[in-house]
Amino acid sequence: MGLGNLDDYRETGTTSTQLTAKLGKLFSVIGTVGSILSVIILAGIGIKYMLGSVEEKAVYKKSMIPYIIGVAILFTGSFLPQFIYKLVKLIGW
């Protein structure tokens, strides 16, 4: 059964080159916009936390957990594919 000729799986032609270039730009834009938004939102939550009462601080701490999970998913989803692509390109697969 096997995979057959592995060279058949390499990218060839302009279509695959254009696709990888567009995907690279898309991941870059998503990562940049996500980074900017996450810093702005974190600053807003931080200011509210500093100015809030004890009860409000507890609420803001609870709201930080979904925020941190969302930021982790955003960075993993946008920067990890870029890293893998650059690593594979560097190795020459």
What SS3 string covers the chain? CCCCCHHHHCCCHHHHHHHHHHHHHHHHHHHHHHHHHHHHHHHHHHHHHHHCCHHHHHHHHHHHHHHHHHHHHHHHHHHHHHHHHHHHHHHCC
Count the domains in the chain: 1
Which tokens belong to 89? 């390109």
Q: Is 10 inside any structural domain? A: no
pTM for the structure as a whole: 0.59
Query: Looking at the domain assignment, is residue 70 inside a domain?
Result: yes
Token duo for residue 6: 């592995």
Whole-number Å distance between alpha carbons of 83 and 11:
18
23-35: pLDDT as tens digits: 778 877 887 888 8
pLDDT digits (tens, 9 = 90+) for 42-89: 888 888 888 988 888 888 888 888 888 988 888 887 778 778 878 887
Q: Give the domain extent around 64.
A: 16-91
In a domain, 36, yes or no: yes
